[in-house]
Structure 1
Amino acid sequence: MTVSWQKVFSTLASERLREAYARAVLGEDVEAGSREFSKLVESELLLSDGSVNDAMFKDVLGAAAHARPQGVDRFFREGRLDGLPAGQADRLAVLEHLADRLFPAGQELDEPVVNLLVATLTRDIPTLRRAFVDSGFLLRNPDGTRYRRVSGG
């Protein structure tokens, strides 16, 4: 059974249960009624023999830890681009991922539409738009008013 940090905190929110748990940690008699003792065991603060569950906090923290993002996901925070990667391979991977996600292949888009799409990812619209063009994911008309997605970079 994996216990959540919420269960631990809700158990320790009770002054009586906190005192009983503190006594157990100090090696004293727990002095808790059967109902209180059951709550301490259910929250995994105590083992069924009344001893302190030393592994519980480590288990709760491990369960709550978020996995580190992999691939292009590591360059995003809360769904927005955290910045273009410095490394060329990572930069191209991120731009290709975004171009595939944002721009329909072969379709021409007006600059305001491109700007709206890019704005969903970053506040620095000109830099990201230019990166798409410089890396070959978007072709810009000579007058700069229309863009077209191309495959590959």
Structure 2
Amino acid sequence: MPHPTQIVSALADPARLALYARVVGAGPGGVPAEEVRGGGARERKRLARLADAGLVREDGDRVVAEPEVFAAALEEQRPVDRDPVDSLFHDGRLTSLPVRRELRHRVFGRVTERFFAPGAKYTEKQVNAALLSCCDDPSSMRRHLVDGGYLVRNDEGSVYQRAAGS
């Protein structure tokens, strides 16, 4: 399937765009191929470029449009199974904390995995410094991680570490 830029590039030339419009305007039956080929070498070259981009095809003695190429090209460009958590981060920083509990917990899990190694111990200052690199309110995020069971604090509250299984 052609890349969207290949499709746009094929239609960027006014003469190719006019040829494509003529084929599309003719409806599902298209236009006679001989009518297009009879336009000379330049017209044949335009037709070849449109065909290479998947916009038209020769069907026997006719040239017909392939309008489904647009949807197919877009579908191919969509990320497959994109993680919704990814959309909440921009340049590594959390842009908003989701309201939905499940998504919120996935964000907490992502932050925990990214900044805190299993078994390592961190002071509150180290935790805040790490969290500051991904969010504007590291103290709130630290509390969310502790309350959610992602980080555990020692009895004195001075040492943090990643909770087992998180």
- TM-score interval, smaller chain: 0.7 to 0.9
Over the aligned positions, Cα root-mean-square deviation in angstroms equals 2.8
- CA shift at 1:135, angstroms? 2.2
**Structure 2, gaps ≥5 residues long:** none
**Residue of structure 2 aligned with 1:129, choices 142, 154, 157:** 142
Please tell me whether residue 76 in structure 1 is matched to residue 75 in structure 2: no
Any conservation in 2 of the 1:108–1:147 contact (CA below 8 Å)? yes
Any conservation in 2 of the 1:75–1:85 contact (CA below 8 Å)? no
TM-score, structure 1 as length reference: 0.77
Listed one character per residue, the Cα deviations across residues 27-60 of structure 1 (whole Å, up to 9, x for unaligned) are 1655562211100100111112311112111212
TM-score, structure 2 as length reference: 0.72
* Equivalent residues in 2 for 1:84-123, closer than 5 Å: 84-123=97-136
**Structure 1, gaps ≥5 residues long:** none
Any conservation in 2 of the 1:106–1:149 contact (CA below 8 Å)? yes
Any conservation in 1 of the 2:85–2:103 contact (CA below 8 Å)? no
Distance 2:43 2:25 in 1: 18
- Give the structure 1 partner of residue 3 of structure 2: 4
Any conservation in 2 of the 1:75–1:81 contact (CA below 8 Å)? no
Q: Percent identity over the alignment? A: 26
- CA shift at 1:73, angstroms? 3.2
- CA shift at 1:88, angstroms? 4.5
* Greater share of strand: 2
Cα distance change of structure 1 residues 92 and 36 upon mapping to structure 2, 3 Å threshold: closer
Any conservation in 2 of the 1:76–1:82 contact (CA below 8 Å)? yes
Query: How many positions carry a matched residue from both structures?
Result: 151
- Give the structure 2 partner of residue 21 of structure 1: 20
SS at match of 1:38: helix
